[in-house]
Amino acid sequence: MKFHLLGQFTIETAEGKLSFLPKSKITQILGVLLVQNGETVRVDTLIEELWGEDVPRSALTTLQTYVYHARRMFAKMPEGKGLLLTRPSGYAVDVADDAIDIKVFERLVGQARRQLHAGQPEAAIESVDRAVALWRGPVLAGMPLGRVLDAHVTYLDEFRFSATELWVAASRRLGRDREVVPRLRLLVAENPLNESLHAQLIRSLHRCGRRAEALEAYRNLWRILDRELGVEPAPELQLLQHELLATGSGHAPPRMAL
């Protein structure tokens, strides 16, 4: 049995049959238990996820009812019996990490990071590609999210971003700047205040022989920072701009007017 949370929540049986779980508090409970696979999730944590600060008097009884229905749902699946465990302080799901796409994603990104540090950029790119391919949409797409799940979704979105940064770093190490530019443009559009991404885009454009576009990318960053924060780019980025302007001129130019 496999659990897909990177997109709409689905369960895949050993026979390959997919069950799309409805948007419900039962599904919410399973989501919390799966992202913390193997760990005991306390009853009060689940109650906070389901009701936030508006906790009904019957919360504990209602939670137990939801768990009962979740067990009944699992019981209808060949491998589902006994997956949902009751423990002294709460509940747990204990399955192999390879059965949960989130855990596979985390493992592949960690593997890519180690491969890049070991001087294996090709292998790192392959690992990142496999990791990102697991995403079929937003985490737990369309599901109600309480504080607990929302925190995990934010973490996974950040982790996906770091995976893309790894892909860019590995590709640039191989001199594949032309392949990197489109990905960097997308990342910059999604993270307009991230100066590191802008710097990478500017450098990659320059290495591709597209100096005019690199200078325009710098102007774009300057406009964004001025409009949103009222500040100029970091000193290292201003130095990068000077280096671009100095290329082929034989002298250091004055600061570019923007």
- Residue 144: is it exposed, middle or buried by C-beta count within 10 angstroms (0-12/13-18/19+)? middle
- pLDDT of 257 strictly over 50: no
- pLDDT of 250 strictly over 60: no
Query: What average pLDDT does the chain have?
Result: 89
What digits encode the pLDDT tens for the residues 68-119?
Answer: 999 888 887 767 677 899 999 999 998 999 999 999 999 999 999 999 999 9
Task: Please state, for a pLDDT cut of 90, what percent of the chain lies above it.
Answer: 67
pTM of the complete model beyond 0.85: no
What digits encode the pLDDT tens for the residues 149-184?
Answer: 999 999 999 999 899 989 999 998 999 989 999 989
